[in-house]
Amino acid sequence: MSETVRLVCPSGRKHAELWGGYLLAALGVLAIALDPSHWANITLGVLLLLLGGGLAAHGHLVVKTPVLEISDGEFHYRRGKYEVSVPFGDIGSYYLLPGGVRSLGLCDTAGRPKRFPSLRSRRTSRAYLPLTGITSPAKVEAFMAMAGIPPRKRSLTS
């Protein structure tokens, strides 16, 4: 496959965190603007500004969304600094794990689940790659179909 196929997973928690931070900061400005002569309004406004700024900064810096990409004959998974690369020929099929945080599992050509190193540098390994909870299974299925990877239930080797 010479062209690049890419899927960026949406992150609802990040958007909620960002908008919550912006809302708290706006409430802080509003509290100070209503009555800047009273110390309680200034204290409340400064606290709301600090909390909103911290929440918005955390939303921008800490929460990383997963990216699935197939290019140059390799499958790439990136989430922040964590990256997994698997040669395209080693992937036989895929499966999706349902739940609060959806996950993508890859199987080798014999139908066995592939193992990946842990996301947090622990000694354990996992057989799946975490996506986000609001990632649509239909989008993942469409991405994998464009890449030419069959689902596990329709795999020739299962």
At 46-87, the pLDDT tens digits run 999 999 999 988 887 766 788 888 888 888 988 888 888 888
105 and 137 in a single domain? The answer is yes
Using pLDDT thresholds of 50, 70 and 90, give the confidence band for residue 2. Answer: low
pLDDT of residue 155: 43
Contact 132, 140 (CB under 8 A): no
4 lies in some domain = no
103 and 125 in a single domain? The answer is yes
Residue 119: domain span: 65-154
Q: Is 73 helix (H, G, I), strand (E, B) or coil?
A: coil
Residue 154, pLDDT above cutoff 60 = no
72 and 145 in a single domain? The answer is yes
pLDDT of residue 32: 92
51 and 91 in a single domain? The answer is no
110 lies in some domain = yes
Residue 5, pLDDT above cutoff 90 = no
**Gap between the Cα atoms of 5 and 143, Å rounded:** 7
Per-residue pLDDT tens digits for 88-127: 888 889 998 877 778 889 998 888 888 887 656 666 677 8
pLDDT of residue 58: 85
Phi-psi region of 117 (alpha: psi -120 to 50; beta: other; left: phi over 0): beta
Using pLDDT thresholds of 50, 70 and 90, give the confidence band for residue 18. Answer: confident
> In whole angstroms, how far apart are CA 98 and each of 10, 92, 128, 135, 137?
16, 20, 12, 11, 9
Q: Where is average pLDDT lowest: 18-22, 38-42, 124-128?
A: 124-128
148 and 126 in a single domain? The answer is yes
Provide the whole-model pTM. Answer: 0.68
pLDDT of residue 50: 95
* CATH code for the domain in which residue 97 is found: 2.30.29
**Polymer length in residues for the chain:** 158
Provide the strand spans (E) within the chain. Answer: 5-8, 67-71, 74-79, 82-87, 93-97, 103-107, 116-117, 125-126, 129-130
28 lies in some domain = yes
**Gap between the Cα atoms of 127 and 47, Å rounded:** 44
